[in-house]
Structure formats: C-alpha cells, structure tokens
Amino acid sequence: MQPLDGKRVLITGGTGSLGQLLVRRLLTGELGRPHKIIVFSRDEAKQHAMRVQYRERRVVTDEVIFKDSEAVLEFRIGDVRRFASVAGVLRHVDVVFNAAALKQVPTCEYVPYEAVLTNVGGPEHIVRAIEELSLPIETVVGVSTDKACKPVNVMGMTKALQERVLIQANLRCPGTRFICVRYGNVLASRGSVIPLFLDQIRNGGPVTITSPDMTRFLLSLNQAIDTIFAAVRDAGRGETYIPRVPTARVVDLAAVMIGDRPIRTVIIGTRPGEKLHEILVSEEECWRTVERGRHYAILPMLPELRDGHSVEAPLPREYSSADEVMDRGALATLLHQHQLALDEAEGLEPELLR
C-alpha cells in the first residue's frame, strides 16, 4: 500500500511554484491516491486560477489525471500566521506539507519580523494545534532551504528555526512523525535567478551578476518533489532529507544562457543577506549524516530521537555548492535536460537557451 492511499493531504502555501507542482504530482497517484488534497493559502487570485485550470482540463496530460481532480481538490483561504486559521484547516487531515514561506532573501532582510511570523510562527501553529487539540495527524513535512544551513540571512535563520521547531515537535507530539527536506536553488521558480537572466536577455541586457565567484546548487522543481516524496516514504522521525544535485558558478550560468548574443554582463555586488556559496550539510552535521540512495539523510540532533544509535558511515565533509562545480559544457547539458521545466515557468521562451 502506498503511503498516501486514501489520505487527506494539506499543502500550506499550495499556490506557490512548489505547491502547484506538488498538487500535480500527488494527482498522478505515485504515492497512492489521496482521498482529498487541500490547497491552503492566503492568495485568493492564485487559488481561483488553480481551480479554473483543473476544471478546464478533461484529458490526461503529463500523466496527471484531471477529470476527477475537482472532487479531490479543495481550496481553503487562510494564513499560517493565524493559529485559529491553522487549527481549523488541520481538522480531519492525515498528512501536512508545510510549503508556506517568505522566501525572498532581500525582502526578509528588510522585514525580518514578517519572516519570523510566517517561517517560524506558521510551523509552531501547526505543532501547537496538533498538540493542544490532540489531532491524529500522521506526518508533517517541513520544506526548508540550503540557506538554513549555517545561516547568515534572515530567511535562512527563520528556516533553520522552522527545522528545529518541527524536529523537536516529535517529542511534543509523539503520535505524529515530523520530518524536513532541505534543498537549494530551484530552476525557474518564481524569484530565482534564471527568470531574471531570461528577462534581461530578452530585453537586450545587461545581465547583472552579484559576484563572479558565487556558486549555487541547481535542481528542478520535480527533483525538489522527488526529495519530498523520498522523505515521506523513508524518513524516520526528526530526519532531514537532502538531494544530491550538481552545482555551478552563477557567472557560468549567465554565459551559457547568453550564448553568442552580443549581451554584456555587469557585476553589481551581493544583495543584502546573500551568500557566496550555499551549504546543504554543514561540518557540524556531517557526523550524523548518511547516504540514502540519491539523497542524504541528516539524523536528528536530539539524542532522544536517535535511540542511541551511532552512524557507521557518516558524510566525510560538508556538502557545499563550492565543491565539484560543473564546467560550462556540463551546465549547458543540464539546462537542456531541464528545458521542459523551464518552459513551464511563466513567460520563459525555449529559444533563450541554446
């Protein structure tokens, strides 16, 4: 039996880039056929657009079955920052994917407490509701970021606290499995660098680069979902799943996307809170990190959740985007492999990647 067969699933932040693809993938039934998928967000317009999209599709597209989606999908307006809103939507739910977040690094630097309310307060409201209302929720998955590892910016700090809140919740709510996933830069997601570069290229440049030394992990939205699904299948209580993905210099990414066009690049300096290199597993976490197929699993820091087991083959060093950086040829191949994901993003034109 698949883990989500007949389950009632809640996706907070379900109208975001990740949330929308998560809905599509859940409807394929690859983790089982959910009884209900609840899309929870505070964006009325995006919910309406999603609802219309699914009502209008009557055929199988990309292996996603739409004809029964109207009966399965439910849309709920609400805000993870309000406890009453969270408590109300959690009733009669079996599995929660917490994808609601303030995620733009510079924005969080200018309104740090707003980031705290969403990225820390939201997860705490989920845990508090389960604890105080004795809700029989089976699994809660917290969606985190590489910026939560050795954080230097508000977004990363708040996401690091989300991880801690959810991992410790295994002690507060022993009947629920709380797990996390942590991943890096998602190709073509809203607010990421590729849509910015494409827009600048489309307008004749220049392409703005914050630093010639900056590196980033690169993965598609589908790889992000793969990591979430792997965690749902296999993660133990308090574990954090990490995808094993390639890395690249941002200046090489710009060069590959520009190709032979007469477009110049300019160095503008790092933005508020931005790192030169991202890290998915720190040196402090290495000793409790193990390989699980195409992923790493970070075991919980709290000894009560590790049952005293030691790690026989820990990760030998931190996992950084500065290591094993792709050359431009490999990067061009990667971008072409993910062309479909890029084309699906709003406004992206396939001819911009050669």
CA 278 – CA 290 distance, rounded (Å) = 20
- What DSSP designation does 304 have? G
* Pairing relationship of beta strands 215-219 and 139-145 according to DSSP bridges: unpaired
Q: Which residues contact 72 (CB under 8 A, 6 or more apart)?
A: 27, 34, 35, 36, 37
CA 101 – CA 161 distance, rounded (Å) = 13
Amino acid type, 141: V
CA–chain centroid gap for 215, Å, is 19
Question: Pick from 186, 225, 224, 194: which is nearest to 347 by CA?
Answer: 194
What is the number of other CB atoms lying within 10 angstroms of the CB of residue 255?
Answer: 16
Question: Pick from 323, 207, 200: which is nearest to 254 by CA?
Answer: 207
Asked if 33 and 5 touch (Cβ cutoff 8 Å), the reply is yes
Asked if 240 and 163 touch (Cβ cutoff 8 Å), the reply is yes
7 belongs to the catalytic site: no
**Helix, strand, or coil (residue 291):** strand
Q: Which of 147, 150, 159, 275 is catalytic?
A: 147
* Active site amino acids: 147
